[in-house]
Chains A and B, each alone.
Chain A
Amino acid sequence: MADTTSKSYFWKGFRDGTPFIFVAIPFGTLFGVFATEAGLNIVQTMAFTSTVFAGAAQFAALQLLQDQTPTAIILVSALAVNLRMAMYSASLTPFLGAAPMWQRACAAYLTVDQSYASSIVQFEKEPNMTVPQRMAYFVGSVTPITPLWILATYLGAVLGTRIPESWALDFALPITFLAMIGPMMRTLPHVVAALVAIVVSLLTVAIPFNLGLLIAGCAGMIAGAQAELLADRRKAAA
């Protein structure tokens, strides 16, 4: 029965998504702490974390808010950080695009690094899964982390103001992101993209409104795409 197998795929997704709670809990707590330090109250922090539901973009927005950046630049920069969600959405479309619209609308909200990473591996490993089974797996993979992410943010926001400055929490954000960069360096073009982005971001740091971030991001993306083309051509020639 289709319903039974969908249910078992939900639980398979749930099991595969469970390890990510070790990312969601500290990251969510940190967001609560940062938001409080940036001057957001509990209602604002919780609305932020549950509607935007994207850790990296939330941190980027807060950082820029503290740097007194104009609102329009904050929005563009944080959404640029979230552009990868569009890529995830694009990459999932061949697998989930045939599901009913209301399911796709829910899946869009639940598209995060963790659900994407688990699902794309599973969908490629078992190409014969039906669309309902894929949807059940996808929702299952994000079920363990969603409530914990929101709860952890709340705890961070409540405890945040009591955390002393000597804990150097200013640097928790760079460390967390740097730790995420390492595993992303899957191929040489990824490394090229990151290195070009770093160099350009340091050169353009004096440009107002943090526009250097967007320039550096675009430069890195172009460099990565070009490096990939070169690598493909070399592979074809060999």
Chain B
Amino acid sequence: MTQPDPVTIWTIIIGLAVGSYALRFVFIGLVGDRPMPPWLLRHLRYTAVAIIPALIAPLVVWPTATGGQPDAPRMAAAAVAITVGLFSKNVIAAIFSGAATLYGLLYLLG
């Protein structure tokens, strides 16, 4: 693992700290009780469900640990985690069943 340089790390930490606080403060602190346009709220509602899957999908299909080669245990673990999450609505259960699938298959196939 290459050591990232401290200036880069501190820039990221401070930038994210300030930016995250600004995002949390902007409405409750500045907007107060004024109403917001419905089209904006409508897009904001789907931010989390769009960004998080977009972040994860490439990591599932081309994992970094295998040098970008598609990998059966990781694909299966991903499928189990999302399926259990969908049906149980229980994050902890989904994490544990996904992890169990990954370790089980890595053990059996490895």
Q: CB-CB < 8 A to A168: which residues of B?
A: 65, 102-103, 106
**A-facing mask of B69-92, CB < 8 A → 1, else 0?**
000001001100111111111111
Q: Which of A93, A181, A205 contacts B27 (CB 8 A)?
A: A93
Q: CB-CB < 8 A to A44: which residues of B?
A: 6, 9-10, 13
Asked whether A89 is an interface residue with its Cβ less than 8 Å from the other chain, the reply is: yes
Category for how many chain B residues contact A: 35 or more
Q: Which of B6, B24, B77, B89 contacts A89 (CB 8 A)?
A: B24
Interface-central residue, B41, B50, B61, by most chain A CB under 10 Å = B50
Interface-central residue, B24, B31, B52, by most chain A CB under 10 Å = B24
Q: CB-CB < 8 A to A81: which residues of B?
A: 51-52, 55
Q: Which residue of A lies closest to B103 (CB)?
A: A168
Task: Say yes or no: B44 contacts A190, CB within 8 Å.
Answer: no
The DSSP consensus for interface residues of chain A is: helix
Q: How many A-B contacts if CB must be within 8 Å? A: 286
Q: Which of B1, B16, B47, B63 contacts A37 (CB 8 A)?
A: B1
Task: Say yes or no: B47 contacts A84, CB within 8 Å.
Answer: yes
The DSSP consensus for interface residues of chain B is: helix
A226 to B50, CA, bound (A): 13
Asked whether A238 is an interface residue with its Cβ less than 8 Å from the other chain, the reply is: no
Q: CB-CB < 8 A to A177: which residues of B?
A: 52, 55-56
Task: Say yes or no: A182 contacts B82, CB within 8 Å.
Answer: yes
A56 to B48, CA, bound (A): 10
A22 to B9, CA, bound (A): 29
Supplied contacts A56-B52, A175-B99, 19 more A-B pairs, CB within 8 Å = A78-B12, A83-B47, A90-B27, A90-B28, A92-B28, A94-B33, A97-B28, A97-B33, A174-B74, A177-B55, A178-B56, A179-B94, A179-B98, A182-B83, A194-B49, A197-B53, A221-B50, A225-B42, A225-B43
